[in-house]
Amino acid sequence: MWNIRLLGCLDIRFESNPPLSLPSRKAEALLVVLARQPGKKYSREMLAALLWPESQQSNARSSLRQTLKHLRQSLTMPNQEAIAVGDDSLAIDPALFEVDVVRFEELSERGTRSSLEKAVDLYQGDFLAGVIDPTEPFAEWVMFERMQLRERIVVVLEKLLHGDLSDGRTAHSIQRVVGLLALDPLDERMHRLLMRLYLEQDRRSAALEQYRLCCAVLQQKLGVRPEPQTEALYRQILQRNQHSPQETQPQTAQDAILSRPAVAVLPFANLSGDPNQTYLSDGISEDIITLLAGWRRFPLIASSSSLTYRDGSKDIRHIADELGAGYVVTGSVRQAGKRARINARLIESQSGYVHWTKRYDLNFSDILEAQEDIAERIAAAIEPALEHAELGRIATIRTDDVSAWDYFLRGASILHRYTLESNAQALKSFQQAIELDHGYSDAYTGLALSYLRNLLIKSPSSSGKDDKCDHDKQLALAFEAARKAVALDPNSSDAHLQVGTAYVWVEDLGAAISETELAVELNPSNAHARMALGNRLDLIGRNAEGIEQMKHSLELNPRYLNRWNYMGYLSRAYIDSRQCDEALSWAKKALRLRPDQPEAHFRVAVCLAHLGQPLEAQTALAECERLCPGFVTMKASWKPYSDTDRNENYFAGLRRLSLCD
């Protein structure tokens, strides 16, 4: 039996033998990917693209063959093959490998106190902590897995903590809080809770020392002082006014402020046995979200948040809590040749009651009709007052060509990669969809987004004539595609959003806001449209309205990986409205999500300077320069607003403290 440890340092050994040293870093990386889910078949195409993303496909496949050969030689076993090699897939035999990550997930899923404690013992560090160079090609995949597992251990520790606090086990509670602080030393709630727990044990000096540790880590990492609640507790301890723990419920759920329960459509499980079909199951989930959005009768969690739960490792109630959803839609897709089976069900998250469930066995060509039926039945179950006539009236305009739809899904599934190569592939897929259906509005919307994304990725830094011509051509094509999408479907929220974004590129904010307001009106649950609208309203000085829209966007999209940047927009808006304490709060939240981003540290520095904290601001700027030398000088010329006075106000704090030219 092979034993692989991925939590903490990488350790590979056969039974009780010494650790195995693999012949190359690529061999290690290949084994790590396969070992993450033993038994799962990974396509060669996916593995080659993941580990050799800069190489041509043929070269990447050749490199994969060589690496696989060396890996199989290293894992040689008598009369057994450790790696199952198919025509176009690879997998490791789960009967021959014991992987700590898999065991950790199994224990955390059981949920009993005993299994949760064993899961904590097994978590010896973050996924491949200190092993993977962040510049390595598959570092992004490692970081995503690391984040998912870190979230899981936090949930495990919180569950144990809640039980310990309820049972009055103070010593155990302290152990849990210490573990949580090791994962997130910037969580002041946990620092305060630990101070109170020490007071319960009459350990006043330990409580005071914890306060000093809290101050030190905040100063070192963020360059800020503790929150007022922490300072107040410290003063109470100095006065020997001891209190029992009050913060016994660490908040992990998103507090929905909307009056009606939100609906989250989770990614449908791909049961086809082919990882390359994941785009199809994800696409069905996203299509159902789009169809449900047409009724505008209940909020919908954005797909960029709900799709983060693709691995199915968390129970429905926990997912609903994290997303702030009252209802959850789950399902599965299995495609075999020209036939398809779709299972769907609607679950009330708190009670677990299944309101509706149905299985569809159909020809693949009928899959679009099945999606519409699923959306209609879900809407009718949540809103019984909806009449069938109304449901039919507001249905969106979509394609009837399943092949065109398939091309659209392929394009949409790779747009998020933010590279010129993936953008070119997406653009080609959208064009192929349009060739099959010239009236396909969504495909034109995807086409417009591809052209606009090119402007972001390849915005010319020089004033060369060729660069300028290419920029203008991309923008013209984006306008053409977005306007065509609107002409084909005037009720498409995403189409109007892309028209609005194109107007931003020509600095026509009035037209941009008009289009974006219409996008939000057509789909109030379009989180990206709300964030765009909020940002654009702030740019023209309508701060209060902009802030409201941006906060609403974050509520609808609580798990979006790029939300740290959205929080930065919100921080900037609060600075412009002279609410610097609130600006700092959001800037710190963004920094906690992405401490590796110089932009996040810069935003914190701007807020601290406005609040008259020069040393802390200087510390944050120094971290900017450490992460990206020259960043502060480059940023000093940034002009987010068209109004000179508002730009001056943004940098006024830094300049007043002589921290910025």
Total count of domains within the chain: 3
The predicted pLDDT at position 350 comes to 66
Which helix (H) or strand (E) segment holds residue 334: the answer is strand 325-336
pLDDT tens-digit profile of 512-555?
999 999 898 888 878 899 999 999 999 998 999 999 999 988 88
Dihedral over alpha carbons 547, 552, 553, 557 (to 10 degrees)? 140
DSSP per position, 184-211: -TT-HHHHHHHHHHHHHTT-HHHHHHHH
Residue 430 clears pLDDT 90, i.e. is over it = yes
Would you give the DSSP letter of residue 366? G
**Of the candidates 84, 86, 75, 123, which has an alpha carbon nearest to the alpha carbon of residue 103?**
123
Give 313-319 contacts, CB < 8 A, sequence gap 24+.
313/105, 313/109, 313/148, 313/152, 314/152, 314/155, 315/109, 316/347, 316/349, 316/352, 317/349, 317/350, 317/352, 318/155, 319/264, 319/266, 319/349
**Of the candidates 323, 332, 358, which has an alpha carbon nearest to the alpha carbon of residue 278?**
332
Residue 30 clears pLDDT 80, i.e. is over it = yes
- List CB contacts of 124: < 8 A, sequence separation 6 or more: 5, 7, 8, 100
Q: Which residue is it, tokens 């109030």?
A: 524
pLDDT tens-digit profile of 389-413?
333 433 445 677 888 888 888 888 8
- Last residue of one domain, picked from the residues 120, 141, 162: 141
Would you give the DSSP letter of residue 264? E
Tokens describing residue 617: 């601001």
- Last residue of one domain, picked from the residues 341, 362, 395: 395
Classify residue 231: in a domain, yes or no.
Answer: no
pLDDT tens-digit profile of 431-463?
999 999 999 999 999 999 999 988 877 644 444
- What residue numbers bound the domain in which 361 lies? 262-395
Under a CB-based contact definition with an 8 Å cutoff, are residues 128 and 140 in contact?
Answer: no
- List CB contacts of 197: < 8 A, sequence separation 6 or more: 170, 173, 174, 177, 245
pLDDT tens-digit profile of 618-647?
999 999 889 888 888 888 888 888 888 998
CATH number of the domain where residue 38 is located: 1.10.10.10
Classify residue 467: in a domain, yes or no.
Answer: no
Classify residue 147: in a domain, yes or no.
Answer: no
Under a CB-based contact definition with an 8 Å cutoff, are residues 334 and 272 in contact?
Answer: yes
pLDDT tens-digit profile of 95-147?
899 999 999 999 998 888 899 999 998 998 888 876 665 456 677 788 888 88
Classify residue 176: in a domain, yes or no.
Answer: no
Classify residue 320: in a domain, yes or no.
Answer: yes
Classify residue 475: in a domain, yes or no.
Answer: no
- Last residue of one domain, picked from the residues 395, 419, 436: 395
What's the rounded mean pLDDT across residues 200-218? 87
Q: Could you report how far apart the first and last alpha carbons of the chain are, in Å?
A: 63
Classify residue 324: in a domain, yes or no.
Answer: yes
Number of neighbouring beta carbons within 10 Å of residue 278? 18
CA atoms within 13 A of residue 339's CA, in its CB half-sphere: 4
Give the least confident one: 63-72, 416-425, 495-504: 416-425
Classify residue 616: in a domain, yes or no.
Answer: yes
Distances (CA, A) of 376 to 287, 357, 391: 12, 13, 7
CATH number of the domain where residue 314 is located: 3.40.50.10070
Tokens describing residue 174: 């302290």
CATH number of the domain where residue 629 is located: 1.25.40.10
Give the least confident one: 43-57, 91-105, 486-500: 43-57
- Amino acid letter, 97: F
